[in-house]
Chain A
Amino acid sequence: DAGVTQSPTHLIKTRGQHVTLRCSPISGHKSVSWYQQVLGQGPQFIFQYYEKEERGRGNFPDRFSARQFPNYSSELNVNALLLGDSALYLCASSWDRAWGNGYTFGSGTRLTVV
């Protein structure tokens, strides 16, 4: 079975640009969460979606948005990129609004803003 798939794996963008990151959850998983991991820090919660509805939002500016599609895949959008947005963006899926051991993480998208 395929795990959580994220695309692209690496991305370089210029300040002020917009970026879209994609995540395909494990088949049957209905919940998708996004995390940002800056170098030297632990992952930080950005969003959680369950059954296409936003269930949680972390302390991130409105430049960050996300959505979940009918097939439960998800997109994370970041507008007006800043240098500080350079990070590893992780997607995690679970079959329900599960406890943390139910979350499976993808390998992430490494975003570099120059």
Chain B
Amino acid sequence: DQQVKQNSPSLSVQEGRISILNCDYTNSMFDYFLWYKKYPAEGPTFLISISSIKDKNEDGRFTVFLNKSAKHLSLHIVPSQPGDSAVYFCAAMGQSGSEKLVFGKGTKLTVNP
């Protein structure tokens, strides 16, 4: 039972354009959401997060949007750079008492020069 879903296995964009990665979740108890970036042969690296009390969080070129009613979040990268090419994982956490991260399957982003 996939509680966090990333339905696009891959995404290819041109350098300088916007990358939009999408994520859906089914568990309404999730109240904190995160994006991780993973390069081959490395562990996931935290990118950006958002609490369920917010609908947007921005950090430089990265913005995460949360639509609680649709149980959907998205990560926008503007402008995209070739170094952004990696696998991006969406993850969710429940309320305090459950610190485990529930990950999606990931989306492989390729930014072409």
Chain A positions within 8 Å of B, measured between CB atoms, are: 4, 31, 33, 35, 40-45, 48, 55-56, 58, 90, 92, 97-101, 103-108
Please count how many residues in chain B sit with their CB below 8 Å of the partner chain's CB atoms: 24
Residues on B lying within 8 angstroms of A by beta carbon are: 4, 6, 32, 34, 36, 41-46, 49, 89, 91, 93, 98-106
- Contact assessment for B34 and A101 in the assembled complex, using a CB-CB cutoff below 8 Å: yes
Residue from A33, A55, A100, A108 in contact with B46 in the complex, judged by beta carbons closer than 8 Å: A100
25 example contacts (A-B, Cβ-Cβ < 8 A) are as follows A33-B101, A35-B101, A40-B105, A42-B4, A42-B89, A42-B91, A42-B103, A42-B104, A42-B105, A45-B100, A45-B102, A48-B99, A48-B100, A90-B43, A98-B99, A99-B32, A100-B46, A100-B93, A101-B49, A103-B101, A104-B43, A105-B44, A106-B43, A107-B41, A107-B43
